[in-house]
Structure 1
Amino acid sequence: MGSIYLIRHGQASFGADDYDVLSPIGIRQAEVLGEHLAQLGTRIDRSVSGALRRQQHTASSALKQLKDADLADTTLDIDAAFNEFDADAVIRALLPDLLPEEPEALHTLRNAAQNRGEFQRLFAKLIARWVSGEHSKPGLQSWQEFVAQVQGGLERLLQQADSKQNIAVFTSGGTITALLHLITGIAPAQAFELNWQIVNTSLSCLKFRGTQVSLASFNSHVHLQLLKAPELITYR
């Protein structure tokens, strides 16, 4: 059987003007991941990333450690199917309908870095509306369309894979959530309850034989836990 390692990107720049940049912690998380895989002797035969900078930077930082151990090269294939859904677009499209019941929501979302707990609560409500399919808006990618995008990426990956390859996919939490839904059949709402637990640079492993795929492990972040540095365990 082959293995697909789904790797969430390192911590990005939450609350900054440009979220799509790894923070110093995010860079360190990616380096630690690469070091850990190298210590385990995990050979990566192919590496794929979404097109987002935080995904590609995570890949380059981790793969450097593996290359130094002669366990991978730094060749990185880009497939935008593994991009994250556009969370900002979801917020912009669905927030107006939420304001009557959450009048402080706009202030909270504009000052997200100072209101992390409240931001998460509101964001989860908006995502629940998006996933339900009952609040579609013109021009906004639906949850169903996003799942189809991710499914296309997985199908391409399997079509190109050898039977015993180890493939690393550097991606994002929402994409991993969509794959959980596709592979296990878990309901979208339940999948997003798991989404909120996905740690930056965590590993989820899929096993495949041909086009048959199963979930082998989810959200492993032992590479961070072993360092006994709680500040490296982040969720956003």
Structure 2
Amino acid sequence: MAAIFLVRHGQASFGAADYDVLSDRGAEQSRAVGAELRRRRVGVTEARCGTLSRQRATAAAALAEVAPSVVAKEDPRWNEYDHVDIAAHHGGGAAQDSADPRAYQAALDAALTGWVRAGDASPCAETWPAFLGRCRAALDELAATLGKGEQAVVFTSGGVIAALCGALTGQPDTGLLTFNRVTVNAGITKIVTGRSGTTLLSFNEHGHFDGDGATLLSYR
């Protein structure tokens, strides 16, 4: 079987004017997850990332640790949902607030719930069915390129990982929120694919942030 490792990007700049930039901690997390993949002896034959700055920066830092000769191919289908647009249409315009991240998370959960329930009728530029469809298409296309025993790494975002995990466990609508709210920055999710199909093997692994690395653990 082939394996695909989905890596959430390192911590971005929550509450800042430009969210789409890795924080100092995010840069450290990116190197740490690369070192973890190297420790596991992951042989990277393919790498992908979205086009967002935080995803590309995470890919560059992690691959420098585990596969310096590999360059991640950018694909916008691995980009995160537009949280600003979703909040505007389904969450009363709730904005990121670094002083109260829990309140923002609650507002985002409510907005995402409304977005999912609205389906194709949502006024957002990208509806939930369209988002899920392009994430699944990106995964299916990558899986089709891998031969037996090959391994790929994708540097993406929490919503993408949550949507795919939900789909692979048969609960795409509820899975988005269930998985999304607990994904850690630079966590690792493993998917295996072969003749029997594509299967979620592990979700949100972050043992590389245990012990001495505990100070690097973050969810937002």
> What TM-score results when the alignment is normalised by the length of structure 1?
0.87
Q: Which runs of 4+ in 1 moved over 3 A?
A: 134-139
Q: Distance in 2 between matches of 1:208 and 1:134?
A: 29
| Structural mapping, 1:18-167, within 5 Å | 18-67=18-67, 73-96=69-92, 109-110=94-95, 112-133=97-118, 136-167=121-152
Match of 1:179 among 160, 164, 180: 164
**Percent identity of equivalent pairs:** 30
Identify if the C-alpha distance between structure 1 residues 226 and 197 changes in structure 2 by more than 3 Å, giving closer, same or farther: same
1:129–1:135 contact (8 Å) kept in structure 2: no
Aligned pair count?
220
> What TM-score results when the alignment is normalised by the length of structure 2?
0.93
Q: Distance in 2 between matches of 1:146 and 1:111?
A: 22
**Cα deviation digits, residues 23-59 of structure 1 (max 9, x gap):** 0000000101111222232221111111111111001
Identify if the C-alpha distance between structure 1 residues 66 and 135 changes in structure 2 by more than 3 Å, giving closer, same or farther: closer
Identify if the C-alpha distance between structure 1 residues 126 and 220 changes in structure 2 by more than 3 Å, giving closer, same or farther: same
* Structure 1 position 8 matched with structure 2 position 4: no
Q: Distance in 2 between matches of 1:133 and 1:212?
A: 30
1:204–1:220 contact (8 Å) kept in structure 2: yes
* Structure 1 position 220 matched with structure 2 position 209: no
2:116–2:173 contact (8 Å) kept in structure 1: yes
Q: Which amino acid aligns with 2:154?
A: V
SS at match of 1:217: strand
Larger displacement relative to structure 2 (113-122 or 5-14):
113-122
SS at match of 2:166: helix
Shift, 1:75, TM fit: 1.5
Q: Distance in 1 between matches of 2:166 and 2:60?
A: 28
Say which one has the larger Rg: 1
Identify if the C-alpha distance between structure 1 residues 187 and 66 changes in structure 2 by more than 3 Å, giving closer, same or farther: closer
Larger displacement relative to structure 2 (5-14 or 123-132):
123-132
Q: Distance in 2 between matches of 1:164 and 1:110?
A: 44
2:165–2:179 contact (8 Å) kept in structure 1: no
Q: Which amino acid aligns with 1:49?
A: C
Q: Distance in 2 between matches of 1:111 and 1:190?
A: 23
Uncovered stretches (5+) of structure 2, i.e. residues with no partner: none
Q: Distance in 2 between matches of 1:83 and 1:194?
A: 17
1:199–1:221 contact (8 Å) kept in structure 2: yes
